[in-house]
Chain A
Amino acid sequence: MNDWLPILATTLAAATPLIFAGLGELVTERAGVLNLGVEGMMLIGAVSAFAVASSGGGLLLGTLAGIGAGMAASALFALLVLHCLANQMATGLALALFGVGLSAFIGRDYVSHVLDGVSGYTLLDGLPPLDPFIVGSLGLFALVQWFLYRSRGGLVLRAVGESPSTAHALGYPVRLIRWAAILFGGACSGLAGAYLATDYTPMWVEGLSAGRGWIALALVVFATWKPARLLAGAYLFGGVTILQFHGQALGLAVPSQFMSMLPYLATIVVLTLISRRGHAIRLNAPASLGQVWHPDS
């Protein structure tokens, strides 16, 4: 019992930011918008959450600040992509790079400050306390799953992602729907950042997210745009981090740098495995993903 609990805890904790950011990006992509800026939004969310929380704002306010900052960053993306009709790929890259710069700038006075971690609440005696973020990630999953497949809003969102021109011809406000999807993605990325900065490693360092935003993007492809598979994929990645943290304990005499490479290498492997099944990707990928759309065209 005591052997597997820390392992489970590590897995859940490491998977949580990927679940938040991944679900947000999944909804954005289902609307046909590819936002490569997840890493940037995550960093901006993280530094905002940390700044508010460590300036006496408390955890809740900090988390809200993270969500708000993620949304603000995504709003910039939405403005460029939906109104200036900028290339989604380039704009997402710009957001990722801008996020790195902006978060380093905002966070310059907070480097290596430490926060008190989050105290979880106890559900059952004998079990470790539950972390509210981890519980929240499962709640968000349920919400997204329900929204996409059980609500009319989800149906409209999927329709817009498959063919914006057809949705437009039927009278749906494509731009507005995409705005909402992008903002939701930004909020989720910001939340992921807030979790990283206030709970997972409650301190600020430059580039705190360490590529998790990009891994979340890869997970969306791996999940073939399905929330349940995204959840499974995130836990798989959480599992890989076990090796990183518990490797020594397991008696693996491998230099730490190689352990740190694992999540990145695992991303490549997993992405390649799913890409080999091109059929699954083409069947499930939103057909308009990444394309500029203008109502007059």
Chain B
Amino acid sequence: MRCQSLLPHARMNSAPRLALRDITKTYPGVIANEDIDLTVLPGEIHAVLGENGAGKSTLMKIIYGLVQPDAGTVLWEGRETRIASPAAARRLGIAMVFQHFALFETLSVAENIALALPDAPAPAALAERIRATAEDYGLPLEPQRPVHELSVGERQRVEIVRCLLQSPRLLILDEPTSVLTPQAVETLFTTLRRLAAEGVSLLYISHKLDEIRALCDRATVLRGGRVSGHCRPAGESADSLARMMIGAELPQTRLSANNVRREPKLVLHNLSRPADGPFGTALHALQLSVHSGEIVGIAGASGNGQSELLQALSGEATLAQADMVQMLGAPVGRLGAAARRARGLGFVPEERLGRGAVPALDLAANTLLTAAGDGLVRRGLILRPTVRRYAREIIKRFRVKCHGSHALARSLSGGNLQKFIVGREIAQNPEVLIVAQPTWGVDVGSAALIRERLIDLRNRGVALLVISEDLDELFSICDRIAVLAGGRLSPLRHTSATDSAEIGRWMAGLFPTETTHVPA
């Protein structure tokens, strides 16, 4: 699968900007990287492709000086180099755009940028440079605005401009499109192609095959911490890339028609609530109904009211009026999380460790966390053997890979923990199930299983609401889809009656404001 003759011809003579040889890094119990080779040429856009847990992040941290490899050599422009710290990386000309932006919410755009420049000029001069660079690349920015007021797209702009001001020779981008609208992705690609044309090398980390085929000159594919292949993405098909990435073709999830009687099970009626904390987003009169036997998806980047909506739905936050949330015909807006659960609500939150599960407790205790009402507690006392049996059942039904019900939640991989949490919520036979970011950071196999189980549940007549940033996922498992942007909800569309371009425009807040109800 190695295809070494892919070097762009014009740049044959120049030394590689970065070359990694036999890089190995182990953590207690895990080999994150093993004998990794990677070569990046000047002016090249080089993809590092791999699924969650393949070792991409560790490799990037090594290049950026955040992590030191256990073995192997790093060659920077032909010379062996030890990158001891991010500061050292920046001195070499390496800059990085982080997946979870490395920005300080309470500081202004200019202050955030100043922090990344070793000798930042005076505030006024810096603001001028920021404006000039931002305009030059078509990435408008207001230097004095505090970061917490910015949208996700604007935040990424701050990160990119911050890198550009360092005049980088190698720019690392870690999953840069995971939260962008399709339109914003196009703008980003234009910027990146221009940088490459100016001679900057780009390392583009992603698991999105289409993007890599559209953008990258060459790709290095990782699987299980090892290089599973080098290739030229433009010449590959999505299937051949997938085989290199996961050793099999991408599992496809399909939604088939079901004949469940459509009855509204979850209704939002003029749901409004104030922002949750100083950096939150208020919700404005949301209207929505989710019926039995369907999956409704809510698209949009986090920070547009997603966490406020989830808390309002789960009962972690109670509402001003009871009828703002109605479940099975009854107003539940003023009930707490436990009471709503008792009425048949299941909820899989976005944060797995610390919210969906308690990291330092075992899976049995984590079962008890929400399933106590399912006969696990009698007269205030915990029925320990019953709890263990219940936990073992979940582990079996959802193929959770772990050392049994005594395994600590934090010892599980992201995918297995998510299977456990989804399994625990489904095991309680909910009438309504709310799932946030069902497969975020989850390996492909687990993701497929989780989606399959959600669809099974839909076919059994449960009403499901899925909130996700992953548009592909929403289009593959949802009957109907809407967008939450700026705390407002777009009209609801059948997935077959819309496309990612329209949803992308809506994610930027451009949707008709009157909410037209689509019949279920």
Contact = CB atoms under 8 A, between A and B. Distances in A.
Q: Quick check: do A and B touch in the complex, using CB within 8 A?
A: yes
B98 A169 contact: yes
Interface stretch (B70-78, B107-115, B499-507): B107-115
Interface stretch (A70-78, A85-93, A153-161, A179-187): A153-161
B137 interface: no
Interface of B is mostly: loop
A162 B102 contact: no
Contacts of A156: 115
A163 B277 CA distance: 17
A169 B102 contact: yes
B66 interface: yes
B345 to A, nearest CB: 27
A172 B87 CA distance: 8
A162 B105 contact: yes
Contacts of B102: 166, 169-170
Interface string B38-72: 00000000000000000000000000011000000
Given A158-B104, A171-B87, A287-B105, 11 more contacts: A155-B111, A155-B114, A155-B115, A159-B107, A159-B115, A162-B104, A166-B102, A169-B98, A172-B115, A282-B278, A287-B106
B413 interface: no
Nearest to A278: B277
Interface of B: 65-66, 85-90, 98, 102-107, 111, 114-116, 120, 277-278
Contacts of A168: 66
Contacts of B106: 158, 162, 287
A254 B98 CA distance: 63
Given A171-B87, A279-B278, A283-B278, A158 B103 contact: no
A171 B107 contact: no
Given A155-B114, A279-B278, A170 B86 contact: yes
Given A170-B115, A283-B278, A162 B90 contact: no
Contacts of A287: 105-106
A166 B87 contact: no
B107 A158 contact: yes
Contacts of B120: 152
A170 B116 contact: yes
Contacts of B89: 171
30 contacts: A152-B114, A152-B120, A155-B107, A155-B114, A155-B115, A156-B115, A158-B104, A158-B107, A159-B104, A159-B107, A159-B115, A162-B106, A163-B104, A166-B103, A167-B115, A168-B66, A169-B86, A169-B98, A169-B102, A170-B102, A170-B116, A171-B85, A171-B86, A171-B88, A171-B89, A171-B90, A172-B115, A279-B278, A282-B277, A287-B105
A143 to B, nearest CB: 21
Contact of B66 (A158, A162, A163, A169): A169
A172 B105 CA distance: 17
Contacts of A152: 114, 120
B21 to A, nearest CB: 25
A144 B278 CA distance: 25
Contacts of A283: 278
Nearest to B274: A279
A167 B87 CA distance: 11
A282 B111 CA distance: 21
Contacts of A282: 277-278
Contacts of A155: 107, 111, 114-115
A-B pairs with the 10 shortest C-beta distances? A171-B86, A171-B87, A283-B278, A166-B102, A169-B102, A162-B104, A159-B104, A171-B85, A282-B277, A162-B106
